[in-house]
Structure 1
C-alpha cells in the first residue's frame, strides 16, 4: 500500500473562490479538465493573487466539497481576514485525517497524483478507517528541487 499517515488535526477554515464541476463524478478526464481550466482562470485573472495576499501561510488549497448536491471545487487559503468577494468559507472539522504526501512537476500533476492515490488506492484498501464525506483538499506546500510538494487531507473515521 502507498505511504500515508493518519493525523489528528484541529479544525481549520479555508476561504476560497469556487466553481461547480459539471462532469459526472465517474468522468475523471472531464473533472480533471474542468479543474485545470479553473486553475488557469484563477491564476490569470488575479483571483489566486488576491487569496495569497491575505493568507496566513504559503499553503494553497484545492478543495473538493459537495454543497446542495453539487460537486464544488475551490482554490483557497487559510486566512484570518475576511475576503468579501470569496465564494465560500469552508470549515474542516477537528479529527483524524488521511494524509498522503507527494510531489509533481506542476501543481496540477501533484493534485491528480494525490487524488488518484488517496481515492484509487488507500481508501479502497483501508480496513480500519473510512471517508464519510465532508470537504477534502490537496494542499500545495511549496517547491523543493524544482518539484511542487504537497499533501492530500481527507477527514476519516475509524471503522
Structure 2
C-alpha cells in the first residue's frame, strides 16, 4: 500500500514541477526577456531555489500582533487540506480512511481552511493584512460552495 502511494505522490510532485517549469519558460518567451534559465540545466533548479527562499523567509509580526494566531493560521489551512486527502480513494483498495461518510467528511474538513486564512490576517493586527486574509477566505469559500454542490450532486445521483 505504501509503494503505490509514494509513486502517486512522486508523480504528482514531478508533474507540478514540470508545469511550473513550463509556465516559467512560456511566460519568459511571451514577455521576451531572459528568465531564470541559469539555475541548473535549462532552469530546472529554479523551483528548488524558490521553495528554499520561501522556507527561509522571516515572519514579521507587529509588536501589537497576536503571534499565536498569526503562526497557527497557516498551519490550520495546510493541515485541513492534507487531512482531506485521507478520504480520497486513489485506487480500488487504496484509500487511507475508508468511511461511509467520506464525501461529507472531505467537504467539512476542506472548509476549515478559510478559518486559518482569517486567523493569519487578524493575528497580524494590520488592517491591510486583515483585509487580505478576509479576501483570501471569501475567495476560498466562493470556490468551495460550487465545488461542494457539484460533488454532492454526483454523490446523490450515484446513491440513487
Larger RCO (CA within 8 A; separation ≥ 6): 1
- TM superposition score normalised by structure 2: 0.27
Instruction: Select the structure that is richer in strand.
Output: 1
Q: Of Structure 1 and Structure 2, which has the larger fraction of its residues in helix? A: 2
